[in-house]
A and B are shown apart, each in its own frame.
Chain A
Amino acid sequence: MNRILAIVVAMALALATSSAQAQISDGVIKIGVLNDQSGTYADLAGPGSVVAARMAVEDFGAAAKGMKVEILSADHQNKPDVGSNIARQWYDVDKVDLILDVPTSSVVLAVNQITREKNKAFIVSTGATSDLTGKACSPNAIHWTYDTWALANGTGSAIVKTGGDTWFFLTADYAFGHALERDTEAVVVKNGGKVLGKVRHPFPSSDFSSFLLQAQASKAKIIGLANAGADTTNAIKQGAEFGIAKGGQQFAGLLVFLTDVHALGLEKAQGLVLTEAFYWDLNDKTRAWSKRFAERHRGAMPTMVQAGVYSATLHYLKAIEALKSDDGPKVIAKMKEMPTDDPLFGKGAVRADGRKIHPMYLFEVKKPAESKGAWDYYKVRATIPADQAFRPIDQGDCPLVKK
């Protein structure tokens, strides 16, 4: 009788563990890093994000814990149709469990919708639209690194408070630019500043001379660049040509990445004020990790969104370990339940609306003389605490948030 009992218990245990394993769909946790691998955003996210995700899987020790994790990557070329096709294919055919990263707000919204339909998981690191935790919030998605509201709040209020109280906006004429301009204008006005004028430029533009002339004529202290990528770097480059800095005006880069500054060079970018969530040189932990990252990524230091991919992957795997399941909405819920802690962003949390919160930093680009070498570009001007850096949870119109 004892022997039969022992066998039954053994079988029950075996079944229990195997069913726990079966809770991980197909026995493999598949993570798809979807971003722009060859275009405007390839340097700031691109292959670097894939490196970051792999580092997270290794540091988590997935192999030692008996969890099989596979990482796929694809290039969505910043197009919503390409992105949604890949997302569908991944979910339907390749049985991907999590889609990660995704720059370009139009692709974010499309993939968000598809993830919801297929009941999987979606974590955005590079995409900016604050609608992801607002009108478009979903129980299947988390917005990790930053968003347009945080940028506007960080750069806008900090600049106004440090004396930049008159603004002129140079805005990319598409949805993202409009949103960034709208959010930043609201913040500037709230903090007692004034918007002296705004001009919208076609997206993309290569020649900003006429818009810069208008910015100069306005005599605003701050020229807010509500655009990204090549538009921002072109505007700054041409601004240097037209003597913007010499005329006493300053650019505020509303969305600027470390790689943009690297591409511009300190001569042109010096003095630029910007908000980011991470910088490789902030403290010992970030320095150590970034050095490891650079070794695997052509010597280039990580941007905040690549760091975000690392941090998000780590937390995702921790949640799966605790939950013993990779079911989309359940893992997302678990991630909201567990506080976050990693060497890059420190301690933080994921809110009910899917917004991860952590401190944001206001940086200023160093002058060439102040820099000790490549990638030594930023100095910290201010730290925005986590509870102030992001839009208050009740202001986003997110249906998941109970009023």
Chain B
Amino acid sequence: MSTVFGVPTQALFGQLLIGLINGSFYAMLSLGLSVIFGLLNIINFAHGAQYMMGAFAAYFLLQWAGLGYWWALLVAPVVVGLLGVVLERTMIRRLYHLDHLYGLLLTFGFALVIQGMFRHEFGSSGLPYAMPALLSGGHNLGFMFLPNYRAWVIVFSLGLCFGTWYVIERTKLGSYLRAATENPALVQAFGVNVPRMVTLTYGFGVALAGVAGVLAAPIYQVNPLMGADLIIVVFAVVVIGGLGSIMGSIVTGFALGVVEGLTKVFYPEASNTVIFVIMAVVLVFRPTGLFGREH
């Protein structure tokens, strides 16, 4: 059995694959954050809570409407996205003329309220959500037993991330978005309804968080605090990738998931800190992140 630094290659490839799965969640969540930051210039602290709402939406859809996982993948993000639209229209939009820090504080307040309400109702032990029958079971790849669902997570998130990237970077709608990011007044003057675009963008970013939550429900417990500590890690990912850079978030998300996975093999106690250490290093040499540009 060959080894790399004392770890059998079997185990190594297994961990790399696991890292890729984690990276999928980092990528999806940091993508949503970046999209929102790019256009609204606010850091959506409620992103973790919205991820959690996506998971709960899937849970409720099953409990109350008998709608299973596949429905949840479509319906939950729409529901969570709509709630996001309501938040943006009623409250966030009032802050655009102010310092962007207020947006951060407002969304932080949202996160506390949302998480508090769910915790009050459901406690924090977590609720079970069944794995969809079509995706249960797995395949023995030789170096590890890969559950089908985990493979699906990678495939789906890659598709979603690159789909989003394509829309933003290669389509007309995306070009309006990018233009509005740079000069909203001019774009408005061309007849594009910028405020509506902003609202929909926030809704879309939030929906991304929601769909990540649905994806997470069968494998992590549906738990009111599931997004709370995750969001801080995602912030670090976004800083490393560069706030506002779409490709940066995707690539960095997957890459950092892999790095974290490797750390779990060689030095597991540090697996929580490695992303922050990398962030500190990146900040010293490239304060705007690896793919970022000054905003």
Contacts and interface: CB of A to CB of B under 8 A. Distances in A.
Interface string B50-73: 000000000000000000000000
B22 interface: yes
B239 interface: no
Given A200-B268, A210-B264, A241-B219, A233 B125 contact: yes
B125 A259 contact: yes
Nearest to B218: A241
Nearest to B14: A213
A380 interface: no
A9 B22 CA distance: 82
Nearest to B124: A39
Interface in B109-124: 119-120, 123-124
B125 A242 contact: no
A42 interface: yes
How big is the A interface, by class? 35 or more
A67 interface: no
A365 B138 CA distance: 25
Contact of A234 (B131, B145, B221): B221
A283 B82 CA distance: 53
A149 B231 CA distance: 37
A238 B21 CA distance: 14
A229 B11 contact: no
A348 interface: no
A18 interface: no
Interface in B79-107: none
B126 A233 contact: yes
Interface string B1-34: 0000000101100110011011000000000000
Interface stretch (A23-31, A117-125, A201-209, A302-310): A201-209
Contacts of A264: 128
Interface in A30-47: 38-40, 42-43
Interface string B127-153: 110010000001000001101011000
A173 interface: yes
Contacts of B127: 263
A263 B127 CA distance: 6
B268 A42 contact: no
A230 interface: yes
A214 interface: yes
Contacts of A42: 123-125
Contact of B11 (A173, A214, A230, A237): A214
Given A202-B272, A207-B220, A213 B144 contact: yes
B265 interface: yes
Given A206-B220, A238-B219, A40 B145 contact: no
Contacts of A241: 131, 138, 147, 149-150, 219
Contacts of A374: none
A224 B76 CA distance: 37
A211 interface: yes
Nearest to B216: A206
Nearest to A203: B272
Contacts of A207: 18, 22, 220
B63 to A, nearest CB: 14
B131 A206 contact: no
A101 B111 CA distance: 31
Nearest to A217: B11
A206 B11 contact: no
B60 to A, nearest CB: 17
A8 interface: no
Contacts of B265: 210
Contacts of B124: 38-40, 42, 230
Interface in A216-259: 216-217, 229-230, 233-234, 237-238, 241-243, 247, 259
A300 B118 CA distance: 20
Contact of B18 (A40, A173, A213, A260): A213
A43 B149 contact: no
A238 B10 CA distance: 20
B152 to A, nearest CB: 12
A329 interface: no
A10 interface: no
A259 B150 CA distance: 28
B44 interface: no
Contacts of B264: 210-211
A217 B12 CA distance: 11
B201 interface: no
A211 B269 CA distance: 12
Given A210-B18, A241-B147, A200 B269 contact: yes
Given A39-B119, A213-B144, A230-B223, 12 more contacts: A40-B125, A43-B123, A201-B268, A207-B18, A209-B18, A210-B14, A210-B15, A230-B125, A230-B221, A234-B221, A241-B147, A242-B145
5 contacts: A229-B125, A230-B126, A233-B126, A237-B128, A263-B127
The 4 closest A-B pairs by CB, nearest first: A210-B264, A209-B18, A202-B272, A213-B14
Interface of B: 8, 10-11, 14-15, 18-19, 21-22, 119-120, 123-128, 131, 138, 144-145, 147, 149-150, 219-221, 223, 226, 229-230, 261, 264-265, 268-269, 271-272
